[in-house]
């Protein structure tokens, strides 16, 4: 099944986006669209649009930009909002996507394979090097649906190996939150974009499930509230009916 045209799908991206953020994104797109197309796979602009459209669909609140290089994506969190993703493009040949750490589930669902010589869990660096464990290490994960030897570069991030994260990622770490940084070539990274989108889809289940549970609780409470109102109305009606015969008897007695 052919994939949708990223440029056409991107038309809905700016819905609800503030004027300042929209201008920053449009300037960035104008710059990357002017780059020379190497003639194979996704161009820089198309790859950026495709990722941005997917992230906005999964995190639908209005985006926030940091200059022209960074776009932050948010989801509802009660009466607040929570940062879910970040898309960073320094125009240095790579696109960076930050998302919650769902590597274990991605390996379990065979989106990614286990990296050679590495355990499936807690990939940070050599197990026998404590100092190395306190740093961020890129790991090449085989892409299950990719060509032979095609990998996705992923770096696991948490409060221990990233004690002073960049401002545009800070709220994705801490409070037991862990994130990953995925690096995708700006040109021709079709399979890597596919794999990154699959990771983001897995991550989005967390707040989708949370929203469904909240809806179920709200629906469960609604009949109870309706029942309370009904009970009060029935009680008032019963009291009115009970009072009516007594009044009628007194009236009849007086006439007699």
pLDDT number for residue 189 = 87
* 216 found inside a domain: no
Which tens digits make up the pLDDT trace of 80-109?
A: 999 999 999 999 999 999 999 999 999 999
* 65 found inside a domain: yes
* 225 found inside a domain: no
pLDDT number for residue 229 = 61
* 256 found inside a domain: no
- Confidence (pTM): 0.77
pLDDT band at residue 226 under the 50/70/90 scheme? low
Residues in the chain: 256
Give the range among 113-122, 196-205, 228-237, 243-252 with minimum mean pLDDT.
243-252
- Does 135 score more than 60 pLDDT? yes
* 124 found inside a domain: yes
Query: Where in the sequence is the domain holding 117, given as residue range(s)?
Result: 6-210
Characterize 156-187 residue by residue with b for buried, 16 or more Cβ atoms within 10 angstroms of its Cβ, and e for exposed: bbbeebbeebeebbebbbeeeebbbbbbbbbb
CB-CB contact of 172 with 100 (8 Å):
yes
Task: Give me the mean pLDDT over the 167-189 stretch.
Answer: 93
* 204 found inside a domain: yes
Task: Give me the mean pLDDT over the 166-175 stretch.
Answer: 92
Higher-confidence residue: 249 or 118? 118
Q: What's the total number of domains in the chain?
A: 1
Mean pLDDT across the chain: 83
* 221 found inside a domain: no
* 184 found inside a domain: yes
């Amino acid at each position: 099944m052919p994939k949708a045209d990223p440029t056409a799908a991107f038309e809905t991206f700016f819905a609800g986006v503030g004027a300042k953020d929209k201008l920053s994104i449009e300037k960035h797109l104008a710059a990357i669209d002017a780059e020379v197309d190497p003639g194979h796979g996704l161009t820089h602009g198309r790859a950026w649009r495709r990722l941005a459209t997917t992230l906005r669909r999964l995190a639908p609140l209005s985006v926030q930009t940091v200059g022209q290089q960074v776009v932050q994506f948010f989801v509802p969190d009660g009466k607040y909002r929570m940062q879910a993703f970040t898309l960073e493009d320094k125009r240095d040949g790579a696109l960076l996507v930050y998302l919650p750490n769902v590597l274990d589930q991605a390996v379990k669902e065979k989106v990614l394979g286990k990296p050679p010589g590495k355990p499936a869990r807690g990939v940070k660096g050599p197990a026998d090097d404590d100092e190395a464990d306190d740093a961020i290490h890129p790991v090449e994960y085989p892409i299950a649906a990719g060509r032979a030897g095609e990998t996705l570069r992923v770096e696991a991030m948490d409060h221990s190996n990233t004690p002073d994260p960049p401002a545009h990622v800070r709220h994705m770490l801490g409070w037991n939150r862990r994130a990953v940084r995925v690096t995708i070539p700006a040109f021709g990274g079709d399979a890597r974009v596919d794999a990154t989108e699959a990771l983001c889809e897995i991550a989005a289940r967390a707040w989708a499930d949370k929203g469904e549970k909240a809806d179920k609780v709200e629906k469960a409470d609604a009949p109870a509230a309706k029942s309370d109102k009904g009970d009060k109305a029935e009680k008032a009606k019963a009291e009115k009916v009970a009072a009516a015969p007594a009044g009628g008897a007194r009236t009849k007695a007086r006439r007699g």
